Amino acid sequence: MPAMTPEELHKFLEEHFPQVAHFDLKVEHVDDTTIRVRLPSKEQHLRPGGTISGPTLVWLCDLGFYLLLLGRLGPVAQAVTTNLNINFMRRPEPADLIGEGRLMKLGRALAVGDFTIRSDGSDEPVAHATLTYSLPR
């Protein structure tokens, strides 16, 4: 049973990270080990050439995995990224991004998982990341 629902995660972001509220990220599903988020495509996400920028993809992986940890552990705002390795696999078209994260190991001090991003309407991943987070004591 997740510690926080999608609605509670959205409220947490509004209260603790208002600087990301304008991105309109939506948590579509969260449970103890997985999360699915949607990021609507906006002009601010595009780079020259009309593709979604790499920094947007990295941001989505990092925030999505952070929300997965909150969903599992509750509102632990001090969990921080210690490692994020990303592979950009194909050009993301200017469409909504669908991100799916998976918690692979949850220890006392570290959490490890991965995150895959697809363009809405496509089964092919545009990016895949592995992440490690340090957890507060």
Do the domain assignments include residue 1?
Answer: no
Predicted TM-score of the model (pTM) = 0.93
Question: In the structure encoding, which two tokens stand for residue 73, read together?
Answer: 């552990």
Residue 112: give the domain boundaries: 6-134
* Distance (Å) of CA 10 to CA 14, 20, 33, 55, 67: 6, 10, 18, 22, 9
Task: Tell me whether residue 111 is in a domain.
Answer: yes
Which CATH number is 57's domain given?
Answer: 3.10.129.10
41 found inside a domain: yes
Q: What percent of the chain has pLDDT over 70?
A: 96
pLDDT digits (tens, 9 = 90+) for 51-93: 888 899 999 999 999 999 999 999 876 889 999 999 999 988 8
Number of domains in the chain: 1
Mean pLDDT calculated for residue range 98-125: 96
CA torsion angle for 80, 84, 90, 96 (degrees, to 10)? -10
